[in-house]
A and B are shown apart, each in its own frame.
Chain A
Amino acid sequence: MSSPSAVAVGTRELTIAQAVNEALAEELRRDPTVFLIGEDIAEAGHPFKVLAGLVAEFGPGRVVDSPISEAGIAGLGLGAAMTGMRPVVDIMFGDFLTLIMDQVVNQAAKIHYMSGGSLKAPLTIRTTLGATRRSAAQHSQSLHAWVAHVPGLKVCLPSTPADAKGLLKSAIRDDNPVVIFEDKMMYTTKGHVPDGEHLVPLGVADVKRDGEDITVIATSSMVQVALAAADELERDGVSLEVVDPRTIAPLDRETLVSSARKTGRVIVVDEGHQSYGASAELAAVVAEDAFWHLDAPVVRLGAMDVPIPFSPVLEDETVPTPERVIAAARRLVGKSS
């Protein structure tokens, strides 16, 4: 697939915040059963200002300020989803997923299966991930692997404005519970978004950069990290192919594996903690389906297995950076120095 950001004709440049806002506005306009509920999302427009202006157009009946009751709004959203609406529940920080896990894991994820297909839950949960905002251990985690582990949930990790818009619109229209993680450090990241209706299907990866020597499978903001590393390595004559799964559940195994087979070397970069995280699953998929094409073991780069610390000098140690991707890539092609 070609990268949407490579297309200039018929596009506009938006930030991820603007793209998310536009996606929500379009879906609220299109479908009267869509509503948003969350903490400080109406007049405040969300602490990250992503939702600014929506209440002015759609009113407090559809852009609903809730109490600070994450489990309550997740459960309320689920009940509304089961009875004819398409709620978008805003969980301000991904760390607060801990507060809604019963509603998501035991209720929303299972209701369709457990009812033999008679009930469904078209529920979208928007939340965030990502460190380096100096927000310390309870506002900095990337917990997407927790929900991706549970059958019945779809999990989106947009890395560009175009994907943020297209995935969110698809999530809202999907008949299943979908959790979409936006990197809180990327809301001001700009990129081209196609004009008009723009949907990105769930379960289709995107090759963000074609390359020959090493496949970098990167998620969310780690796509930008991988692309920065690719630019740098190009000067050394090392060519990276950057593959963005975009959704880790369902996972487009085929695109990941075919790239791995082509290059024979794979680095997985994901901002979740490395142990038992998404990077482990992505690496396992490559190992299972591309093993005989690999020239070296798959390399994983995740967040360190420590709570995210506050002090900038400590926090910056915890997450993958372009420099670390470059070092890993050089080792893989035997150019470490």
Chain B
Amino acid sequence: MGIRAFETAANQLYLSAKMPGLTHLYIGEEAVAVGVCSMLRVDDVVTSTHRGHGHCIAKGADVRRMFCELLGKEEGYCRGKGGSMHIADHANGNLGANAIVGGSAGIATGAAFAAQRLGSDRVAVCFFGDGALGQGLLYEVMNMAALWKLPVVYVCENNLYNEYTHFSEVTAGSIPKRAEAFGIPAEEVDGQDVLAVRAATERAVERARAGDGPSFLLAATYRYHGHHVGDIDRAYYRKKEEEELWVAERDPIELLAARIEDDAGFSELHERIDAEIAEAVAYALDAPYPDPSEVTQDVFA
């Protein structure tokens, strides 16, 4: 719910021209990030995608600092240098969103390699979308992860669309079998069911921590909005009815609410989150920009 509220506010910031650039909304896919990250420790690491706000929040980030980053403010996670697509939250184990599709597969696998070689039982989770299935890097590092039994969980969020193209037009064969070909156990999970995602993640993380190697989770989910906030007219690549059906019948928050059967508790939580997000947006809008002299800072460590 926090992610939904954050993304709704981010969309409003774009629509009201208060946010520079574009952003890629995670609305509709929240159960994947929440389900996975709720089974991780703070020191477990994740790598994220261009559609990364959900992973970031689920891994424990502060929404004030996230909004500051979206607006290019000094207090942002990257001091305004990264923006929406590059938020990294080192303290919570988020090694960063990544604007190159599939670009973080190596980083997550390397973090798992380091955990293993340094004798830590830390686990790395690599979030990526169906679009990354087209990138060779993913298969290069899955091969190494399987060879060396690295503690990494590859989480493929299949939201059905590689940007503006249905994944089935560009993805041959079976997705789970791609992982299984390396000897990596693959599990398909309903990405709209947070409890199912949690259960699958628990199995994968236990396997990784026990030194038994990588796992692959394929989460079936749906991107309610466009590829990015400016992708408003989507009729040329998908039907309005399809979008409405997912929202009406497969919404992850509604599905969970129906299961919990605590309407009062839910609406109270809703109000609290909305207030927190509104406060964070107001804070970020008022926050100062970095001094222009910071442009040359941090090129080198």
Interface, chain A (partner B; CB < 8 A)? 33, 35, 61, 66-67, 69, 71-85, 87, 102-103, 106-107, 111-122, 151-152, 154, 175-176
Question: Given A115, A121, A175, which contacts B82 in the complex, CB threshold below 8 Å?
Answer: A115
Q: Does B114 contact A (CB under 8 A)?
A: yes
B299 x A113 contact (CB < 8 A) = yes
Closest residue on chain A to residue B91 by CB atoms: A118
B82 x A116 contact (CB < 8 A) = yes
Kindly state the separation between the CA atoms of A77 and B140 in the bound complex, as whole angstroms: 13
With contact pairs A76-B109, A118-B78 given, residues A83 and B114 touching in the complex (Cβ less than 8 Å): yes
Q: How many residues of B contact A (CB 8 A)?
A: 45
Interface, chain B (partner A; CB < 8 A)? 45, 47, 76-82, 86, 88, 90, 95-96, 98-100, 103-115, 117-118, 124, 136-137, 140-141, 143-144, 147, 297-301
Question: Given B79, B107, B111, which contacts A117 in the complex, CB threshold below 8 Å?
Answer: B79
Contacting residues, chain B, for A115 (C-beta < 8 A): 77-78, 81-82, 86, 88, 90, 96
With contact pairs A116-B76, A116-B81 given, residues A72 and B114 touching in the complex (Cβ less than 8 Å): no
With contact pairs A116-B80, A116-B298 given, residues A80 and B140 touching in the complex (Cβ less than 8 Å): no
Kindly state the separation between the CA atoms of A145 and B147 in the bound complex, as whole angstroms: 35
Contacting residues, chain B, for A33 (C-beta < 8 A): 118
Closest residue on chain B to residue A32 by CB atoms: B118
Contacting residues, chain A, for B117 (C-beta < 8 A): 35, 61, 80, 85
Closest residue on chain B to residue A74 by CB atoms: B106
Kindly state the separation between the CA atoms of A87 and B77 in the bound complex, as whole angstroms: 26
Closest residue on chain A to residue B83 by CB atoms: A114
A79 x B81 contact (CB < 8 A) = no
B103 x A72 contact (CB < 8 A) = no
A82 x B118 contact (CB < 8 A) = no
Q: Closest approach, in angstroms, between the C-beta of A107 and any C-beta of chain B?
A: 6
A75 x B109 contact (CB < 8 A) = yes
With contact pairs A75-B137, A107-B100 given, residues A114 and B110 touching in the complex (Cβ less than 8 Å): no
Q: Closest approach, in angstroms, between the C-beta of A75 and any C-beta of chain B?
A: 1
A69 x B140 contact (CB < 8 A) = yes
Closest residue on chain A to residue B102 by CB atoms: A102
Kindly state the separation between the CA atoms of A77 and B106 in the bound complex, as whole angstroms: 8
A106 x B100 contact (CB < 8 A) = yes
B113 x A80 contact (CB < 8 A) = yes
B107 x A102 contact (CB < 8 A) = no
Closest residue on chain B to residue A85 by CB atoms: B114
Kindly state the separation between the CA atoms of A120 and B95 in the bound complex, as whole angstroms: 10
How many residue pairs at the A-B interface have CB separations less than 8 Å?
148
Kindly state the separation between the CA atoms of A116 and B110 in the bound complex, as whole angstroms: 21
Contacting residues, chain A, for B144 (C-beta < 8 A): 66-67, 69, 72-73, 76
Contacting residues, chain B, for A83 (C-beta < 8 A): 45, 95, 110-111, 114-115
Kindly state the separation between the CA atoms of A67 and B110 in the bound complex, as whole angstroms: 15
A82 x B95 contact (CB < 8 A) = yes
A76 x B298 contact (CB < 8 A) = no
Closest residue on chain A to residue B145 by CB atoms: A76
A152 x B77 contact (CB < 8 A) = no
Kindly state the separation between the CA atoms of A87 and B141 in the bound complex, as whole angstroms: 16
Q: Closest approach, in angstroms, between the C-beta of A58 and any C-beta of chain B?
A: 12
Kindly state the separation between the CA atoms of A140 and B108 in the bound complex, as whole angstroms: 33
Q: Closest approach, in angstroms, between the C-beta of B95 and any C-beta of chain A?
A: 6
Question: Given A67, A117, A120, which contacts B140 in the complex, CB threshold below 8 Å?
Answer: A67
Contacting residues, chain B, for A151 (C-beta < 8 A): 299
A79 x B109 contact (CB < 8 A) = yes
B140 x A72 contact (CB < 8 A) = yes
With contact pairs A79-B109, A83-B95, A83-B115 given, residues A152 and B81 touching in the complex (Cβ less than 8 Å): no
A103 x B106 contact (CB < 8 A) = yes
Kindly state the separation between the CA atoms of A257 and B61 in the bound complex, as whole angstroms: 48
A72 x B106 contact (CB < 8 A) = yes
A79 x B90 contact (CB < 8 A) = no
Q: Closest approach, in angstroms, between the C-beta of A329 and any C-beta of chain B?
A: 36
Kindly state the separation between the CA atoms of A81 and B80 in the bound complex, as whole angstroms: 24
Q: Closest approach, in angstroms, between the C-beta of A14 and any C-beta of chain B?
A: 30
A76 x B113 contact (CB < 8 A) = yes
B110 x A78 contact (CB < 8 A) = yes
Kindly state the separation between the CA atoms of A315 and B255 in the bound complex, as whole angstroms: 69
Kindly state the separation between the CA atoms of A81 and B110 in the bound complex, as whole angstroms: 8
A119 x B114 contact (CB < 8 A) = no
Residue contacts A-B, CB under 8 angstroms, 19 given: A35-B117, A66-B144, A67-B140, A71-B106, A72-B137, A75-B109, A78-B110, A80-B110, A82-B110, A85-B114, A85-B117, A107-B98, A107-B100, A112-B300, A113-B298, A115-B86, A116-B76, A116-B78, A152-B300
Contacting residues, chain B, for A78 (C-beta < 8 A): 106-107, 110
Kindly state the separation between the CA atoms of A224 and B155 in the bound complex, as whole angstroms: 52
Contacting residues, chain A, for B100 (C-beta < 8 A): 102, 106-107
- In the A-B complex, the 5 residue pairs with the smallest Cβ-Cβ separation, listed nearest first, are A75-B106, A79-B110, A72-B140, A116-B79, A69-B140
Q: Closest approach, in angstroms, between the C-beta of B88 and any C-beta of chain A?
A: 4
Question: Given A71, A87, A112, which contacts B137 in the complex, CB threshold below 8 Å?
Answer: A71
Contacting residues, chain A, for B137 (C-beta < 8 A): 71-72, 75, 102-103
Closest residue on chain B to residue A175 by CB atoms: B301
A176 x B143 contact (CB < 8 A) = no
With contact pairs A69-B144, A107-B100 given, residues A118 and B88 touching in the complex (Cβ less than 8 Å): yes
Q: Closest approach, in angstroms, between the C-beta of A110 and any C-beta of chain B?
A: 8
Closest residue on chain B to residue A67 by CB atoms: B143
Contacting residues, chain A, for B124 (C-beta < 8 A): 79
Contacting residues, chain A, for B114 (C-beta < 8 A): 79-80, 83-85
Q: Closest approach, in angstroms, between the C-beta of A222 and any C-beta of chain B?
A: 26
Contacting residues, chain A, for B81 (C-beta < 8 A): 113-116
Kindly state the separation between the CA atoms of A113 and B88 in the bound complex, as whole angstroms: 11
Q: Closest approach, in angstroms, between the C-beta of A209 and any C-beta of chain B?
A: 31
B88 x A84 contact (CB < 8 A) = no
A77 x B110 contact (CB < 8 A) = yes
Contacting residues, chain B, for A67 (C-beta < 8 A): 140, 143-144, 147
